[in-house]
Amino acid sequence: MSATQELEFRDAIRDAMSEEMRRDKRVMLIGEEVAEYNGAYKVSRGMLDEFGPRRVIDTPISESGFAGMAIGAAMLGLRPVVEFMSWSFSLVAADPILNNAPKMLFMSGGQFGCPIVFRGNDGAGGQLGSTHSWSVEGLFSNVPGIKIVIPSTPADAKGLMKTAIRDDDPVFFLESERMLGMKGDVPVGEDVLVKFGQALIRREGADCTLASWGRPVHFCMEAAQELAKEGISCEVIDLRTIRPLDIGCIERSVRKTSNLVIVDQSWSFGSPGSEVAAQIHQRCFDDLDNHVHRVHAEDVPAPYAYNLEQEYLPNTRKICEAVRSATYNS
């Protein structure tokens, strides 16, 4: 195991971007307040100083404009990283990011690729109200041609960001404002990458598989600890990327545990969670002891009030209840 250093989530992302910018002159960062202000959430701290205003570019509040411009730059050979202050704001850039970037390679018959990374905060939890609390993976995972990365630790954030920048396809990199200050050991080294489509078993267990990604992985770990006291042994899988999806990892785990609870902070209808459930029902039908259970955000717009927001999101209590139900212990 190589040497590690303790980093905040935001700095792990920053280090990944900076290392890749040093390594490859085509890489650039563009977005609202990424340069002079060091990023609205201080992710790009020091990057303007190091790389200058030609490679770290502040934009007006016009997501559709700068996203489209970056896509054009990617088509012509640059490798832009585009920061959305929040993924909720990416919705005004839906046409460039969903209707153009993912289809460019296909529609141009292979003439134009689109090696671009869109990144920003995703999900509720910070009392930002309904319109700023999107978990866009529910919407965007429906679109072929996009890779979607949702890390849960600083180490994965760094390793996955580096892979994202080096990838030749559009990558949507979903961070959580609630986790940017989280600290964790991050391997040192410019070429420590985390591959896409490789889930990680965070905790091994025998009775029930918990599959999640991003912030709810931590709730799953808490729930697993809680349930262990009741004698229910949970295996926690962190998918890390949902496109590509490491369904094989979940499949192998479910063959062992016979039960699956998916924890997904997007809405349940037509979500990554429902997709995983459908695939597992198909692949593991004869291995299941119960139907796949799912814990999602409630099917309402995100509430503003703190207590309601906590109940709106998947939380440890709801996960415990789902596992007890799935394992016939409720």
Partner 1 sequence: MPRLSDTMESGTIVRWNVKEGDAVKSGMVVADIETDKATMEMPVFDDGKILKLLVPAGQQVKVGTQIALILEDGESLDGAQTETHSGAQNVEPIDAQAGEILQSNGARVRVSPVARRIAEQERVDLASLQGSGPGGRIIKRDVMNALENRGATPASQTTESARASSMSSSAPQSSTPAHVTVSSSLAVPVTPTHRAGGLVVAGLQSTEVAVSSMRQIIAKRLVESKTTIPHYQVSMKFELDRLMALREQLNSELAGMGIKLSVNDFIVRGCALSMAKHPYVNASWAGEKILMHQQVNVGVAVALDEEKGGGLLVAVIRDVDRKSLRVISSETKALSEKARTRGLSMEDISDSTFTVSNLGMFGVEHFTAIINPPNSAILACGAALKQPVVRDDQLTIGYEMTVTLSLDHRVIDGAMAARWLNTLKRLLENPATLLV
CB of 2 to partner 1, least distance (A): 9
What residues make contact with partner 1 under the rule CB under 8 A? 1, 4, 153, 155-156, 159, 184-187, 192, 198, 200-206, 218, 221, 224-225, 228, 233-235, 249, 252-253, 256, 258, 285-290, 328
Residues 63, 137, 177, 275: which is the catalytic one?
A: 63
CB of 256 to partner 1, least distance (A): 6
Shortest CA distance to 17 belongs to which of 119, 86, 96?
Answer: 119
By the 10 Å C-beta count (0-12 exposed, 13-18 middle, 19+ buried), 280 is classed as: buried
Nearer to partner 1 (CB atom), residue 143 or residue 200: 200
Nearer to partner 1 (CB atom), residue 9 or residue 118: 9
- Using DSSP's 3-state secondary structure scheme, residue 23 falls into helix
Nearer to partner 1 (CB atom), residue 38 or residue 163: 163
Helix orientation angle between 216-229 and 316-326, rounded to the nearest 10 degrees: 60
Nearer to partner 1 (CB atom), residue 21 or residue 157: 157
CB of 261 to partner 1, least distance (A): 15
Nearer to partner 1 (CB atom), residue 26 or residue 203: 203
- Secondary structure of 41-92 as H, E, C letters: CCCCCCHHHHHCCCCEEECCCCHHHHHHHHHHHHHCCCEEEEEEEEHHHHHH
Concerning whether 63 is annotated as a catalytic residue, the answer is: yes
CB of 258 to partner 1, least distance (A): 4
Residues 19, 20, 83, 132: which is the catalytic one?
A: 132
How many alpha carbons lie under 13 Å from residue 79 in its C-beta half-sphere?
20
Instruction: Name the maximum alpha-carbon separation found in the chain.
Output: 59
**Which helix (H) or strand (E) is 242 found in, with range?**
strand 241-243
Task: Report the distance separating Cα 137 and Cα 265, nearest Å.
Answer: 9
Task: Report the distance separating Cα 27 and Cα 293, nearest Å.
Answer: 42
**Which helix (H) or strand (E) is 261 found in, with range?**
strand 260-267
CB of 253 to partner 1, least distance (A): 7
> Which residues participate in catalysis according to the annotation?
63, 132
